[in-house]
Structure 1
Amino acid sequence: MMLVLKILLFGNAEERKILEEALLQPLKKYKITFDIHNLSNPQKFMKNYLFKNDYHLIVMCSDGNTKYIFKSCSDTPLIHVVTGIMSFPPTAEEIDDKLMRNPELASFFSPGEYTVTHRDCTRKISHMDIDYIRRDNDKTIIHLTNGETETTSKNIGKVMSEINREYFAKSSPGLFVNTRNIYKIHNSSSRDYKTVELKSGAEVPLKSIYFDKFRDAYSLSVARVASLKVLDD
């Protein structure tokens, strides 16, 4: 069954319009099915919406900032609430980092899958669960965010022709990194290499000659060039 992200925008008409325009593109980009409702009445908001879990995400303008609330949504009592603040209007980088990448939205994503077939079984792997892909002679090893690996007899050229390349950028010969799972890029003692640190804690090499193309691929996939900083250790 397809999950629908129920969103409530709270504020005056102008504020809600600004918030909706800011949210529409990233929601569509990440292929999240959503349903947006609007509300301007403070009393109704406090009484009927703030303390109930009818909506997964509430976004509002308050005190010159954008405030958001993620809530669990089920027939059971409210389990947890996640809150945060962005600027108003929120930037594309803030929305990507604080909303689109928030674990609370994980079940609403439609990131696509890569299918690995063996003689006795077939496994579908979500693109978001892949950290990086590397060549192993004529085979290819897919490294997952949970530390597991999946090996396919296909060579890496074949794998990369089948997978959604919007997610992956080449970091060194025979190695492709999931740009959406990058945490930091570190300088290293070698001029020829930098180090890509992934959210899972895994680290892979980034050859300096690939850095510009790697950065461009990253910025195209998540639209936040400013946050891809090379950090000195």
Structure 2
Amino acid sequence: MLKILLYGSARERKILEEALQKPLEENKISFSFRYLSNPQELMENYLYNRYYRLIVACLDGCTAYVIKGNGSKHDYYIAKGTMSFPPTSEEINEKLMRNPELAGFYSSGEYTVAHRGLTRKIPYEEIDYIHSDDKKTIMYLTNGDKEIISKNIGKVNDEINRRYFAKCCIGVIVNTRNIHKIHRSEKNSRVIEFKSGAKVLMTEGYFEKFAEAYSMSVSRLADLKALDD
């Protein structure tokens, strides 16, 4: 569960809570809020307390945020910055929801691969894309590894959670949560680039259907602006 500390006046905390609650729920993040208005208590008891991984505060008319490390890293503050007040859904998604340090709080699910009596569970966030290879399917992972699945891609497509995956061309399904950017390559194609640096080609004929699936996956039509870059 993601423990979040909201700092500010009662009115400011209510505004921050209302802005954060919807994207947290849409991304299926289990969370709880704690409220604080005493600056001395914030500095003495909470700013350096790793129990609250995310602090969101109203300061000087802006929304300030701090994302803390999980205790296994040398850097105490992983990310910090400001947003407008109240923060827009675009700011929350870009600066908080898509921050990799909060990925562990996503309950996105996993895919189970069985091979010679052994099973391996692969979290969705570790999958970049899935590619058809005749009667088998190859799963390309964010760390550069591949997983060969003894099923055709149609079967795999039925088994994955389509909230996180979308078809971009014949025989290729991509993880929309791991997309970094999409840009035009040639007249009849576009390139999907993942956060890991991997790339796949999307044919223009699939663009409209992909855009619809992508917008449903990320829960915000505003993200579609990336498709036109």
> What is the TM-score when the length of structure 2 is the normalising length?
0.92
Structure 2 equivalent of residue 94 of structure 1: 91
| CA–CA distance in structure 2, aligned partners of residues 111 and 51 of structure 1 | 29
- Of 71, 77, 81, which aligns to 1:84? 81
In the alignment, the residues of structure 1 paired with residue 193 and residue 80 of structure 2 have an alpha-carbon distance, to the nearest angstrom, of 27
Give the residue type in structure 2 aligned to 1:208.
Answer: E
Question: Aligned runs of 1:94-113 on 2, under 5 Å?
Answer: 94-113=91-110
Does the CA-based 8 Å contact 2:215-2:223 persist in structure 1?
no
Give the distance between the partners of 1:103 and 1:202, measured in 2 at CA: 17
Aligned with residue 119 of structure 2, among 118, 122, 125 = 122
Q: Which residue of 2 aligns with 1:206?
A: 202
Question: Which stretch of structure 1 is more off in the superposition, 88-97 or 138-147?
Answer: 88-97
Question: What percent of counterpart residues are identical?
Answer: 57
- Counterpart of 1:68 (choices 38, 60, 65) is 65
The aligned residue for residue 189 of structure 2 is: 193
Contact 1:10 1:39 in 2 (8 A): yes
CA contact (8 A) 1:187 1:194 kept: yes
CA deviation profile, 1:128-165 (whole Å, cap 9, x unmatched): 11100111111111111111111111111110001001
Q: Among 208, 211, 218, which residue is 1:215 paired with?
A: 211
Rounded to whole Å, the distance in 1 between the matches of 2:223 and 2:31 is 27
Which of residues 37, 41, 54 in structure 2 aligns to 1:40? 37
1:116, 1:122 within 8 Å by CA — same for their partners in 2? yes
CA distance in 2, matches of 1:213, 1:104: 31
Secondary structure at the residue paired with 1:188? strand
Paired residues, number? 227
Structure 1: which amino acid aligns with 2:169? S
Q: Which runs of 4+ in 1 moved over 6 A?
A: none
Asked whether the equivalents of residues 3 and 32 of structure 2 are also in contact (C-alpha less than 8 Å), the reply is yes
Hey, what's the Cα distance between the residues in 2 that align with 1:153 and 1:78?
Answer: 41
- Aligned residue in 2 for 1:131: 128
Where does the alignment leave 5 or more consecutive residues of structure 2 unmatched? none
1:77, distance to aligned residue in structure 2 (A): 11
AA at the equivalent of 1:160: N
Amino acid of the structure 1 residue aligned with 2:101: E
- Alignment RMSD, CA only? 1.9
Amino acid paired to 1:211: F
SS at match of 2:40: helix
How many Å separate the matches in 1 of 2:203 and 2:75?
Answer: 45
Any gaps of 5 or more consecutive residues in structure 1?
none
The Cα of 1:30 is off from its aligned counterpart by 2.3
CA contact (8 A) 1:184 1:231 kept: no
